[in-house]
Structure 1
Amino acid sequence: MHALSLPTWIIHISSVIEWIAAIWLIWNYASVSDNVGWRWLAFGMLPALISAMCACTWHFFDNAADLEWLVTVQAATTFLGNCTLALGAWAVWRHRDLEHRTAKITMEKTDA
């Protein structure tokens, strides 16, 4: 646990807590906005959360050589998280775009 200073630990732990809070808030926003794309974004955030937890775990055990595999897991989940976040953002955009197109078609039908 001595691998990081106290201020660095505070930043690491608060980042994990705020990431969990962000996932929860985005999940709830999906219900309020009636846009399921936000749920996909919340799911897409999970690999990045796992990555952060891997980093904290490795540092907690003073960067032990026995746990060096956590660095590989962290790298893999960071890459996966970047991909899933991009897909989640696309899902939010796609759902919103579909809503706009549907509203436009509905307006055109009522005008005709």
Structure 2
Amino acid sequence: MHALSLPTWWIHVASVLEWVLAMAAVIHWGERRGETEWRWLALAMLPALVSAMAACTWHLFDNPRELQGLVVFQAGTTLLGNVALAAAAWTLLPERSRS
């Protein structure tokens, strides 16, 4: 755990928790509006959460070479998350705005 300072760890952990709360808020927003499509946006946020947890895991073990594959995994889940978020956001657009 020496790779990151305590304040940096705080930011990492707080960001992960904030992302989980944002996912819950998106679900709640959709339920209040009666628009179930918002659940897709929350689901699309999941790969970014996995990516953040992978980064935290890598840092937890002091960024060892043996876990270098975790960095590649993080990059992949970040890419997947960005594509998923873009697709989910697209589905939330009104029909007239999509063309």
1:30 and 2:30 are equivalent in the alignment: yes
Q: Structure 1 unaligned runs (5+)? A: 101-112
Given residue 74 of structure 2, which amino acid in structure 1 is its aligned partner? Q
In 1, Cα distance between the equivalents of 2:60 and 2:51? 14
Structure 1 segment 34-45 matched on structure 2, within 5 A: 34-45=34-45
In 2, Cα distance between the equivalents of 1:35 and 1:91? 12
Larger radius of gyration: 1
Identify the residue that residue 58 of structure 1 maps to in structure 2: 58
Given residue 63 of structure 2, which amino acid in structure 1 is its aligned partner? N
- The percent identity for this pair of structures is 53
Cα drift, residue 18 of structure 1: 0.1
Identify the residue that residue 72 of structure 1 maps to in structure 2: 72
In 1, Cα distance between the equivalents of 2:34 and 2:28? 10
Find the residue that maps to 1:7 and give its secondary structure.
helix
TM-score after normalising by structure 1: 0.82
Q: Structure 2 unaligned runs (5+)? A: none
TM-score after normalising by structure 2: 0.92
In 2, Cα distance between the equivalents of 1:34 and 1:90? 18
1:18 and 2:18 are equivalent in the alignment: yes
1:85 and 2:70 are equivalent in the alignment: no
Cα drift, residue 62 of structure 1: 0.3
Consecutive aligned runs of 4 or more in structure 1 exceeding 3 Å deviation = none
Cα drift, residue 90 of structure 1: 1.0
Cα contact 1:54–1:74 (8 A) shared by 2: yes
- Aligned positions, number: 96
Higher helix share: 1
